Structure 1
């Protein structure tokens, strides 16, 4: 048997990394920060040594998981940030896309929950850069949309309320095994129906 090419090795590596990331997200939903590399290996149906080859400890794994989730989140909400329509329409679209992504991709929910918890489960300040990127790429553009169109004395508080509602609804559905039954459109419609638009 001839040795694998670099391209073949890269393809195998990408498949393994996806397996590990998906398994890590599922295990994190079950165990939180108590997750161990061994748990991820079992969930991914890979050998412990295989997972350990890629990640020497769970903090390195979770760091990669959260950075990857940040890119997925940014990609998911991009159509709302660059689309047509006023800021209120964009804010609703942003919220809908974000909630749908949370349902489809547990790592995005984990990112939002971790940011909301201010990374308090993680040691040191290794996530300060990720937090800054989240603020700049996701949170502050959303606050800007709220400030433009919604009658609120504190756009930040309103944005936090909406983010908290999206996280809470996702958590309830995940922990009650109803993730795929969640009515994302209905939830977002209900949240925004309670907001007053600015008088022009």
Structure 2
């Protein structure tokens, strides 16, 4: 049997990392910050030593999980704010897409909930930079879009209301395992019902 090539090793590494990240997100939803590397290895059906090879502690693992989630929000959701000029209310499209991603990708939900909680479950200042990057890459562009589209004395308060509602709806459905029953469009319509657009 010939030794694996560099490309094969990289493919295996990426597959293992994906297994570990997916398992970590699932375990976090079950146990929160109490999760341990052993829990993740069991969920991923990998040996403890294999997971430990990639992550020496749960905080390193969670940090990677949340940074990766931020990158996915940036690549898959943020284009809704910059996209088609024919879309009258980009803030609505953005919210709908973000809620869909929360339901499909537990790591994105965990990121939004952690930001909403100001990372208070996590020790030290480990997530200060991630919080700041979320503000610059996601929150502020959303606030700026709200300022353009919505009649609000405080676009920050409106953004906070929308993010809070989004996290709350997603949490209810995730923790009660009702994802298939969730009507994303209806929920987003309800969120925006009391918000007046500038065109009205």
| Number of aligned residue pairs | 200
Output the CA distance in 2 between the equivalents of 1:152 and 1:104: 31
Counterpart of 2:194?
A: 194
Counterpart of 2:65?
A: 65
* Residue range with higher mean Cα deviation, 14-23 or 171-180: 171-180
Aligned Cα root-mean-square deviation (Å) = 1.4
Output the CA distance in 2 between the equivalents of 1:43 and 1:187: 32
Output the CA distance in 2 between the equivalents of 1:88 and 1:118: 32
TM-score by length of 1: 0.96
| Alignment check: 8 A CA contact 2:55 2:61 kept | yes
* Residue range with higher mean Cα deviation, 160-169 or 175-184: 175-184
| Alignment check: 8 A CA contact 1:87 1:146 kept | no
Counterpart of 1:150?
A: 150
Counterpart of 1:122?
A: 122
Q: Deviations over 1:106-143 (max 9, x none)?
A: 00000000000001111111111111110011000000
TM-score by length of 2: 0.96
Structure 1: give runs of 5+ residues left out of the alignment.
none
CA positional deviation for 1:36: 0.2
Specify the SS of the correspondent of 1:72.
helix
Structure 2: give runs of 5+ residues left out of the alignment.
none
List, as ranges, runs of 4+ consecutive aligned residues in structure 1 with deviation greater than 2 Å. Answer: 84-88
| Alignment check: 8 A CA contact 2:78 2:138 kept | no
Counterpart of 1:184?
A: 184
Output the CA distance in 1 between the equivalents of 2:87 and 2:153: 17
CA positional deviation for 1:76: 1.9
CA positional deviation for 1:87: 8.2
CA positional deviation for 1:82: 1.6
